[in-house]
Structure 1
Amino acid sequence: MRWFVLLMLFFGAVINFADKSIIGLAALPIMKELDLSYAEWGLVGSSYYWLYPVTGIFGAAWADRIGAKKVLGLLMLTWAILQFGVLAIAALPLLVIYRVLLGAFEGPFSPVAYNHADKWFPPRQRGFANSVVVAGGTVGAMIAAPLLVFLITQLGWKSAFACLGVASIVWFFLFQFFTKESPVKKYQDVQQKKKEKLGKINVKDFLKLLGSPSALFTTLAYFSTYILVVWFSVWLPIYLVEAVKMSPAEMGYSVAVIGIVSVLIYTGVSMLSDYLFKKSENWRVSRVFVVAGAMIFGAVLLASITIFQNPVWVIVAMCLAKGLTYSILPIGPTVMINEWPERGALMTSILTSSGNIAGIIAPMLTGYIVGLAGANKIAGYNLSIMSMAVLVLLFGILFALFVKPSIAKNKVELHNNLSENSNIKYS
């Protein structure tokens, strides 16, 4: 059952990321049909994240109380309704409203899915399990690229969006009727007791926990990488067409190749992290140093694109850079859940929602930079890429220096005080 649950979470992430990335694949026909400028397109990309961080936190906290299965099912049904609603979009305001609502209801998916996967797998396999969920996001963009580019070309961009609505409905029925909330009945009883004991959160102690070096610098590392996530989703297709001079078909296949290779890389990094954790149970070595090293190397490769602009090297460097920098996405939630296991979904939502603030800033900033470059669009794209590389490099170094995840004796008292009625103890 746990492998089927993980498979469903994987496909849920496929749909989730396809929903958000299809807007980039359809960028040129949408901009042409609605007569949008680069700045207006940056607004469209940014609008997805306006409510995303807030709903991510509240949705994940809600899942801690009523269960992940119910929340995930409700989210998926809402996505379907919104994707069918695209058929009515005829102007920029409606497109922005659609993106705001889609982001609001997709915000809770990642933290709830990560915590749900952790619930089904032991600690030595959680890095791999979360990497599978993250891989769903990359595969979502990868599958969407060639398939949806074809649908957009043949049927129009609105029909392609509606196809994702159908996929959401199919996922809902499979997940609701063929999975369980938790692995075994004993675990369900423990979870029920835990829910009954979870009282109000002590805000002062909670903020103190979030301000600890492990939570703070994990969040910042995730934030820097999520700028790349947004850029790859919103701007990569346009960059490949306008800067690298690819045809729409070549762009679609290139996005697919970048997605496939990057999945293999960050899954491999996660498996290496799991292996080292199993051998030593040393969080600093297995989780922090492995991920920080991958981020730093990936940032250097990303920066190289602005110097060596041969199309082949651009694709190779992007494959490696995306795979290496994305390694924080599956491991980051594991670090955050370790900080407060009984509120795993909430802790993960803080991480993902804080990281997704990057989604509000990055698309508009990139659009502004490219617009300022005028006819020299390549210079604008290069400046945006170099800025992202520097940010990932900086926070990768800080992640390595300051994140020291552990459940030490002096942390137990803080954890037990976070919920006023909590009697949970830590080993």
Structure 2
Amino acid sequence: MAPHTAAHARHTAAPAPAPDRRRAWLITALIVTFMVINFADKSVLGLAAVPIMDELNLSNSTYGLISSSFYFLFSLSGLLVGFLSTSLSSRVLLFGMTLLWAVAQLPVLAVASVPTLLAGRILLGAAEGPAASMSMHALYKWFPPERRALPSALQIGGAALGTLIAAPLVTWLIEAYGWRSAYAVLAAVSAIWALVWWQAGHDGPYDHARTGTRTRTGAGTGKGDGPRLPYRRLLSTGTVLGSIASAFGAAWALSLSHAWLPAYLRTELDMSAESAATTISVISGYGLLLLLAISPVVDALKARGVSSRWSSGAAQSIAVCVAACAMAAFPFIESTGARLILIGLAFGTIAIAVPLHYMTTAEVVPTSQRGAVFGIVAGIGTLPGLVAPSLTGHLIDAGETPAHGYTAAFLTATAVMLVAGLLALTSIRPERDAHRLGLDHRPAGGAH
């Protein structure tokens, strides 16, 4: 075959994927709902912390251990499922995860005890470990790289929306029907979503890893794909390492929010269960607004030629640092109103970091390896969940008073988040790293 003919074949062998906007937005809606359920499941223990601790006579350390048990297999399962995503469809993976969410809520309904709470949380964590990364991977299969900013923000917005909805609804169930009722309802909702997804959740046209459109040289013929690269090279780039750091700092605050913020509001600020739930909903609403606002800002900056390093890399880094500063300040503020504003900044601002660290990672990873790398980033980035809740419980028990223990925990979070945010700020450089890897850099979200 003549050289020009071979070149022509490489470029024409795989036609551009046919877009289906209605189906793409249906999948987006399902994945947003998936994330709502995900975070409702994740939040239920924290929202029920006070009645569970009272009924089972748990110490802060024991409750912290139960909270951390959610992350015992969380990161490992995220890594394993990330690699499985190269051979299994997103339809199968998300269906299986959600069925396990339903099953994980059942042990404590049979026998309420520390062992059943631990068993349920460990299974739930294993099933939710890959949830954010794999649902984002599934979503990316329905949108080209230049149109992923809004869907990405909506997907992560589902997490904030999940807490916003779950806080008052789950609290109402707990107060009206007992904390077990919340577990039963969430099990049913998870099972229903799984059945709907099995019928509608097919993989999209931008799934280059499964279309078979690769050349003998390994170069992908799909738009934006590239040669498979050693994972060692991908994971050692500053952009991926910085994205992991950003995720790590955000995850420390998120794990504290899920495990201890409801109890802190009730025991240290003397809030009722309903007032604490309303406060958590407001914080989640603030995070959701930030997520929806960041997408057009990133798009506008990229359209004006601003590099990904500053448009999406700096944004996530600064968000983590701002949240850290608020975390350091609020334990020392006497005014309740000012303290609540700082609590909102500390636990709401980090929402920005979550979609952006996926976007910056995607810019330096071949499409066929994106699911696996997303799994690795999520697996390492969420490791704080294994440490922060348990450490906080020990600090509360060891402090002169619970208030001193909480302050020590929040200052520890501040140090971790500041280091993580600064590392991300200095390391994330998608254009540079894509060039070094030999990839055709184009932004993973937003116009360019």
Q: Compute the TM-score of the two structures, normalised by the length of structure 2.
A: 0.86
Contact 1:125/1:274 (CA < 8 Å) preserved in 2?
no
Contact 2:315/2:353 (CA < 8 Å) preserved in 1?
no
Name the counterpart of 1:33.
55
Q: Larger Rg: 1 or 2?
A: 2
Report matched runs for 1:27-426 at 5 Å: 27-183=49-205, 187=206, 191-193=210-212, 205-280=230-305, 282-340=307-365, 341-374=367-400, 376-406=401-431, 408-412=434-438
CA shift for structure 1 position 399: 1.2
Deviations 1:250-295 (A, max 9, x none): 1111111111112112332243123212332621121112222222
Q: Which runs of 5+ in 2 are unaligned?
A: 1-22, 219-226, 442-448
Contact 2:154/2:291 (CA < 8 Å) preserved in 1?
no
Contact 2:241/2:424 (CA < 8 Å) preserved in 1?
no
3-state SS of paired residue (1:120): coil
CA 1:195 to 1:203, structure 2 compared with 1: closer, same or farther past 3 Å?
A: closer
Name the counterpart of 1:419.
none
CA 1:279 to 1:365, structure 2 compared with 1: closer, same or farther past 3 Å?
A: same
Name the counterpart of 1:21.
43
Contact 1:270/1:330 (CA < 8 Å) preserved in 2?
no
3-state SS of paired residue (2:72): coil
CA distance in 1, matches of 2:179, 2:316: 37
Contact 1:146/1:249 (CA < 8 Å) preserved in 2?
yes
CA shift for structure 1 position 315: 2.2
3-state SS of paired residue (2:304): helix
Contact 1:43/1:363 (CA < 8 Å) preserved in 2?
yes
Farther-moved stretch of structure 1 (240-249 vs 317-326): 317-326
CA distance in 1, matches of 2:334, 2:381: 29
Contact 1:64/1:195 (CA < 8 Å) preserved in 2?
no
Match of 1:303, as an amino acid? A
CA 1:103 to 1:152, structure 2 compared with 1: closer, same or farther past 3 Å?
A: same
CA distance in 1, matches of 2:348, 2:137: 22
CA distance in 2, matches of 1:122, 1:302: 37
Contact 1:337/1:345 (CA < 8 Å) preserved in 2?
no
CA distance in 2, matches of 1:401, 1:382: 29
Contact 1:124/1:277 (CA < 8 Å) preserved in 2?
no
CA shift for structure 1 position 12: 0.3
CA 1:107 to 1:192, structure 2 compared with 1: closer, same or farther past 3 Å?
A: same
CA distance in 1, matches of 2:330, 2:145: 37
Contact 2:141/2:203 (CA < 8 Å) preserved in 1?
no
CA 1:196 to 1:145, structure 2 compared with 1: closer, same or farther past 3 Å?
A: farther
Number of equivalences: 409
Match of 2:32, as an amino acid? F
Deviations 1:363-383 (A, max 9, x none): 111001111114x21121122
CA distance in 1, matches of 2:66, 2:409: 18
CA distance in 2, matches of 1:370, 1:290: 33
Farther-moved stretch of structure 1 (295-304 vs 361-370): 295-304
CA distance in 1, matches of 2:25, 2:391: 40
CA 1:225 to 1:267, structure 2 compared with 1: closer, same or farther past 3 Å?
A: same
Contact 1:111/1:352 (CA < 8 Å) preserved in 2?
yes
Q: Which runs of 5+ in 1 are unaligned?
A: 416-427
CA 1:365 to 1:189, structure 2 compared with 1: closer, same or farther past 3 Å?
A: closer
Instruction: From the two aligned structures, give the one with the greater helix fraction.
Output: 1
Name the counterpart of 2:223.
none
CA shift for structure 1 position 221: 1.9
Contact 2:228/2:368 (CA < 8 Å) preserved in 1?
no
Contact 1:126/1:274 (CA < 8 Å) preserved in 2?
no
CA distance in 2, matches of 1:204, 1:348: 15
CA distance in 2, matches of 1:46, 1:203: 36
CA shift for structure 1 position 119: 2.2
CA shift for structure 1 position 39: 0.6
CA shift for structure 1 position 158: 1.3
Match of 2:260, as an amino acid? W
Q: Compute the TM-score of the two structures, normalised by the length of structure 1.
A: 0.90
CA distance in 2, matches of 1:189, 1:125: 16
CA distance in 2, matches of 1:194, 1:314: 55
Deviations 1:72-117 (A, max 9, x none): 0111112112223331132211211111111111111111011122
CA shift for structure 1 position 188: 5.8
CA distance in 2, matches of 1:331, 1:32: 40
